[in-house]
Amino acid sequence: MEPSLELDLQIPGRGARLAGLHAALREAIASGRLAPGVRLPPSRELAARLGVSRNTAVAAYERLASEGWLESRGSAGTFVAELPRAAVQVSDRASVAPWADSRWLRGGLAVLPEPVAPGPVPALAFTTGMPDVSAFPFDVLRRLQTRALQAAAREPASYAHPQGLPALREAIAGHVSAARAVACTADDVIVTAGAQQAFDLIGRVLVAPGRTLAAVEDPGYPPLRAALAGAGARLQAVPVDREGLVVQALPGQAQIVCVTPSHQFPLGVAMSLPRRRDLLRWAAERQAVIVEDDYDGEFRFTSRPLDALKTLDRDGRVFYVGTLSKSMLPALRIGYIVAPAWARDALVAARQAADMGAPALMQAAVAGFIAEGHLLRHVRRMRAEYAERRRVLMQAITQHLGRRAECHPAIAGLHLAVALDVDCAELARRAWAAGVAVEPLSRYRLAAGADEPGLVLGYGSIAAARIPEAVRRLAGVLGTL
C-alpha cells in the first residue's frame, strides 16, 4: 500500500483553478518537495482533497506529464518523473556553521578505502574482512529470536541497559575467557554496535581534541584511525615488522597505542611474546593505554595461541575490543569492549549518549546462541574450512605466481598479505577488469612514502574451488606488468 501523500498545495479559492493546481504541483516538484519516483494520489482522491473537480485534477496531471514533470505508468498510477538536477531548484550550498571545528565537516576522514574500480564487484573476489555466511546456522538463530520475542511478549517492554543485556555480557565473558584466555566477568564487558562503535566510544572517552596523540600501526585499519581522528586525536604512524608493531618506534608522547596483535591487519603477522611484553612495559612507563583489536583471533591455524595483551595486562591499561561479525554474521553489528574498571562507567555513559544501547531482542538471541554452544561449534567448523581455503590459496600462489610473490607469515584470520614486485594499485585495477577483485596493500597505509608493493587477499567469502581460477587470472594480469 502506498502512503497517503501529505502535501500542502496552495491554489486559488476561485477563478483559474486549473492554472493554480498546475502551478502548485510544478512548484512542489521543482523545489524538491515532491521527489522523483513519488506516486501521486489518483485524480479522484486529489480532487476530493483539494475541493476541485476531477476534470481539473486530470487536466493538471496531463499538462504536467506533457511537460515532463510527471509520468503515467498505466494502472500503477501517476509518478513524479526523473528530472535533470538543473530543473530542480535545490541549492547545492551546505548550511554554514562557522563556529564548528569538526574534522568531519572539514572532510578528509576516510572510514573505508575507495573501491579499486567503478562498477559491480567481480564474481571472483578476494574481499577482505568478509566471512562466509553460507554455512551459518540461520535456523538456530531464527529459533532463538522467536524465543526472545515470546519472552518479550510476557514481560513489560523496556529498553536494554546501555552496557548490554546481562545474559549477553555473561555469554561474551565466558566466550573470551575460554577462547582467548581473557579473564573477565560480565561486569567488565560493554556491548557495542560492532567493533567500530567500540573504537568510537574509546575515542570519545580518552581523546582530548587536538592534544591526544594516538600511535597506530602502518599499514593498519582505516576505520579505527577514522574513529580516533574524528574524536580529535593526532595520529602517528608506527611501522610493523615480522614480530608486529615496532615498539622502539613508538613516539614517546603517545597516550594511546592501537594494535592488532593476534593477526596484524593487514599484514597478518602475530606480535611475538617478547614484543607484547615490551609494549606493556612501554605503556606502564608512560602512563599510556592500549587498544587491542582482536577482530578474527578465533580463526587461528596453530594449536597454541599467544596470550592476548589483555591477558598479560596487570595494570588495567588494555581495552580489549572484539566482534561477532567474523565469527557469526556482519549483519548482527554486535561487538564488545572488555574494559578496565576505571573506564567502564565512562564508556557506558558514552554508549547511552550515543544510542541508548543495542536492540534487546537480538542481544537475547545472540546470548542464547553463545550459551548453548552454537558459536563454538560454528567457529570450529569454519576454522577447518578457512584453513583449507588458506592452504589452497597458498598452493595456488606458489603454482601460478612463483618467485614474484611472497606470502607474509600469518597464523590466523581470513586473509593473506602477499608481497609483489610491481605497481599493485595498477595490478588491482587490471585484475578487476579481468574479473578478479583484489586490494593493494597501499590502501591501508597512513604514512606517505612508506609503501611496499603487495596485495591483501581475503579468502573468507570465496569458495576453495574458485581460488585456483582466481589466482590463475591474477597471474595472467601480472604477466602484463
DSSP code per residue over 381-422: HHHHHHHHHHHHHHHHIIIIIGGG-EEPP-SBSSEEEEE-SS
Q: Is residue 199 within 8 Å of 321, Cβ to Cβ?
A: yes
pLDDT at 1: 47
Under the banding of pLDDT at 50, 70 and 90, the label for residue 339 is: very high
Residue 173 sits in the same domain as residue 243: yes
Q: Decide which of 274 and 28 is more confident.
A: 274
Whether residue 266 is preceded by a cis peptide bond, meaning omega within 30 degrees of 0, is: yes
Residue 253 sits in the same domain as residue 360: yes
d(CA 181, CA 307): 7
Residue 432 sits in the same domain as residue 300: no
Task: Say which range, 114-128, 129-143, 309-323, has the weakest mean pLDDT.
Answer: 114-128
Looking at the domain assignment, is residue 264 inside a domain?
A: yes
Residue 82 sits in the same domain as residue 176: no
Phi, psi of 191 (to 5 degrees): -80, 135
pLDDT of residue 213 exceeding 90, the answer is yes
Q: What is the Cβ-side half-sphere exposure of residue 274, based on CA atoms within 13 angstroms?
A: 4
pLDDT of residue 208 exceeding 70, the answer is yes
Task: Say which range, 159-163, 192-196, 319-323, has the weakest mean pLDDT.
Answer: 159-163
Residue 354 sits in the same domain as residue 228: yes
Question: pLDDT tens digits for 384-433?
Answer: 999 999 999 999 999 999 989 999 988 888 999 999 989 999 999 999 99
Residue 445 sits in the same domain as residue 360: no
pLDDT of residue 378 exceeding 50, the answer is yes
Q: Where are the alpha helices (DSSP H) in 287-340?
A: 309-312
Looking at the domain assignment, is residue 251 inside a domain?
A: yes
Count other Cβ atoms within 10 Å, centred on residue 81: 17
Structural domain of residue 464, as residue ranges?
Answer: 124-133+377-478
What proportion of the chain, given as a percentage, has pLDDT over 90? 65
Task: Say which range, 66-80, 200-214, 266-280, has the weakest mean pLDDT.
Answer: 66-80
Looking at the domain assignment, is residue 407 inside a domain?
A: yes
Looking at the domain assignment, is residue 381 inside a domain?
A: yes
Looking at the domain assignment, is residue 92 inside a domain?
A: no
Count other Cβ atoms within 10 Å, centred on residue 285: 9
d(CA 317, CA 433): 47
Residue 355 sits in the same domain as residue 399: no
pLDDT at 63: 92
d(CA 439, CA 437): 7
d(CA 108, CA 390): 35
pLDDT of residue 374 exceeding 70, the answer is yes
pLDDT of residue 159 exceeding 90, the answer is no
Q: What is the rounded average pLDDT of the residues 311-329?
A: 94
Under the banding of pLDDT at 50, 70 and 90, the label for residue 319 is: very high
Average pLDDT over the chain reads 89
Closest by CA to 318, choosing from 288, 298, 295, is 288
Looking at the domain assignment, is residue 175 inside a domain?
A: yes
Q: C-alpha angle 459/113/432, rounded to 5°? A: 55
Task: Say which range, 119-123, 207-211, 315-319, 405-409, has the weakest mean pLDDT.
Answer: 119-123
Residue 355 sits in the same domain as residue 391: no
Task: Say which range, 36-50, 98-112, 160-174, has the weakest mean pLDDT.
Answer: 98-112
Task: Say which range, 88-92, 204-208, 236-240, 313-317, has the weakest mean pLDDT.
Answer: 88-92
pLDDT at 157: 65
225: exposed, middle or buried (Cβ count in 10 Å: 0-12, 13-18, 19+): buried
Count how many residues are written for the chain: 481
Residue 360 sits in the same domain as residue 381: no
CATH number at residue 229: 3.40.640.10
CATH number at residue 398: 3.90.1150.10
Closest by CA to 147, choosing from 360, 378, 368, is 368
Phi, psi of 235 (to 5 degrees): -105, 140
pLDDT of residue 206 exceeding 80, the answer is yes
Task: Say which range, 50-64, 83-97, 244-258, has the weakest mean pLDDT.
Answer: 83-97
Q: Is residue 464 within 8 Å of 134, Cβ to Cβ?
A: no
d(CA 198, CA 194): 7
Under the banding of pLDDT at 50, 70 and 90, the label for residue 167 is: very high
Q: Tell me the pTM.
A: 0.83
pLDDT at 76: 87
CATH number at residue 75: 1.10.10.10
Question: pLDDT tens digits for 46-88?
Answer: 888 888 899 999 999 999 999 889 999 988 889 999 876 555 5
Q: Decide which of 431 and 449 is more confident.
A: 431
Looking at the domain assignment, is residue 96 inside a domain?
A: no
